[in-house]
Amino acid sequence: PPAISGDLDKFMTWVDEFRRLKVLANADTPEDAKTARDNGAEGIGLVRTEHMFFGTGERIMAVRRMIMAADTATREAALTDLLPYQREDFEGIFRAMDGCPVTIRLLDPPLHEFLPDGDLDEIVAMLSADTGADEHEVVERIEKLAEINPMLGFRGCRLAITYPEIGRMQVRAILEAAVAVQAEGKVVIPDIMVPLVGTLEELRDQTAMIRETAKAVFEEKGAEVAYRIGTMIEIPRAALMSDQIATEAEFFSFGTNDLTQMTFGYSRDDVSKFLPTYLERGILKHDPFQVLDQAGVGQLIETSVQRGRATRPELKVGICGEHGGDPSSVDFFHRKDLDYVSCSPFRVPIARLAAAQAALNN
């Protein structure tokens, strides 16, 4: 969509005088980051790095080699091939967001999303050609990757804890890009975010990996960039344990998509099967994935903010789930004293309006 301009632009600057919530955007590419900025986003609240792993040509081949790797050496070689692509993407986003924070989330795929769609025989032949493994081996490895419940399976930080080389590659790509773009005279503000944390120990494992990798990169480059480490709060346990989690996190970002999924126990991907009946019979008033359930999910958010700030008063708190662009949800986030909402680039103007309206109404 075209950027807002002219009279609307002027009107929006008046709107901005009233709001307290900052409005950031979720963006995965330099193009999205630019659209977000043109629409008034004050930073990027979520870069979903798994989306950057898709693509074509060499990039997707390296991804497949990484996923199908039978050993660490093969995985590390594939990751070495992926590093320049990730670095280039991050450089583009940092340039577009000069002077604004860019929150980059470490890999969080349900692994099945990386497998190509289509006829199984064709997929096996393709993976065999890409990875050099024989077809028998490929079938075995696909079977090992299959999960009964992928959204509760091998995703989020579980991946980089099990395979630390993946996390190290991503942190290296982020910080090498940050050093390079800072050297061009731009102001780079990287926030590195750990996904799907449920326990303090998980976060500790990841913060140690991030700090170690950062130290190595800065020594090699002879330059440093200030960065922050934070976490997604999207598992109810993490919300409840926020006093502990905040000892290791400089910021929290609520993933209201997963937090809704796990609080209700509704699969994000299957809700359409029963939602129409629930809405029709008044069992639910709204689709909770679109409009925040303030009574239940909202209570977890409120508790988490209070407990997190009790440990770390300066904790930065925001949300990056779909609810960041919904006006009634934005009103709730304003009342609960969050620092920012992050939504898709084209919803940024709506979120700015909703944030101003919330400030005037409350």
Positions in the binding site for ligand PEP (CB under 6 A):
46, 48, 108, 234, 255-258, 320-321
Which of the listed partners (Mg ion, ligand PEP, none) does 320 bind, with a CB threshold of 5 to 8 Å by partner kind? ligand PEP
Instruction: State which residue, 318 or 349, has the beta carbon closest to Mg ion.
Output: 318
Applying CB under 5 A, the span of 7-15, 172-180, 244-252, 255-263 interacting with Mg ion comes to: 255-263
Token readout for 289 is 């994935």
Q: Which is nearer to ligand PEP, 225 or 292 (CB)?
A: 292
170 binds, among ligand PEP, Mg ion, none (CB under 5 to 8 A by kind): none
Closer residue to ligand PEP, CB minimum distance, 124 or 233: 233
Could you tell which of ligand PEP, Mg ion, none binds residue 221, using a CB distance below 5 to 8 A set by kind? Answer: none
Among 255, 308, 325, 349, binds Mg ion (CB under 5 A): 255
Q: Does 331 bind Mg ion (CB under 5 A)?
A: no
Interaction mask 221-240, Mg ion, x per CB under 5 A: -------------x------
| Closest CB 232 distance from ligand PEP, rounded Å | 7
Residues 6+ apart with CB under 8 A from 234: 195, 196, 254, 255, 256, 257, 258, 259, 262, 321
Under the binding rule (CB under 5 A), the answer on residue 322 touching Mg ion is: no
Pick what 228 binds: ligand PEP, Mg ion, none; C-beta below 5 to 8 Å, kind-dependent: none
| Least distance to ligand PEP, CB of residue 261, Å | 7
Nearer CB in complex with ligand PEP: 108/248: 108
Q: Are 192 and 170 in contact (CB under 8 A)?
A: no
Residue 50 binds Mg ion, judged by CB under 5 A: no
Number of residues that bind Mg ion (CB under 5 A): 3
d(CA 293, CA 61): 41
Q: Which does 51 bind (CB under 5 to 8 A by kind): Mg ion, ligand PEP, none?
A: none
Q: What's the closest the beta carbon of residue 11 comes to ligand PEP, in angstroms? A: 29
In the bound state with Mg ion, the residue whose beta carbon lies nearer, of 186 and 268, is 268
In three-state form (DSSP H/G/I as H, E/B as E, the rest C), the secondary structure along the chain is CCCCCHHHHHHHHHHHHHCCCEEEEECCCHHHHHHHHHCCCCCEEEEEHHHHHCCCHHHHHHHHHHHHCCCHHHHHHHHHHHHHHHHHHHHHHHHHCCCCEEEEECCCCCHHHHCCCCCHHHHHHHHHHHHCCCHHHHHHHHHHHCCCCHHHCCCCHHHHHHCHHHHHHHHHHHHHHHHHHHHCCCCCEEEEEECCCCCHHHHHHHHHHHHHHHHHHHHHHCCCCCCEEEEEECCHHHHHCHHHHCCCCCEEEECHHHHHHHHHCCCCCCHHHCHHHHHHCCCCCCCCCCCCCCCCHHHHHHHHHHHHHHHCCCCEEEECCHHHHCHHHHHHHHHCCCCEEEECHHHHHHHHHHHHHHHHHC
Q: Is 324 in the site for Mg ion (CB under 5 A)?
A: no
Residue sitting closest to ligand PEP (CB):
255
Q: Which amino acid is at 207?
A: T
Q: Note whether 258 binds Mg ion by CB under 5 A.
A: yes
Which range, of 29-37, 159-167, 249-257, 269-277, touches Mg ion by CB under 5 A? 249-257
The values of phi and psi at residue 300, to 5°, are -65, -40
Q: Please report how close the Cβ of residue 132 comes to Mg ion at its closest, in angstroms.
A: 34
Q: How far is the CB of 260 from Mg ion (least distance, A)?
A: 10
Q: Which does 32 bind (CB under 5 to 8 A by kind): ligand PEP, Mg ion, none?
A: none
Contacting residues toward Mg ion, per CB under 5 A? 234, 255, 258
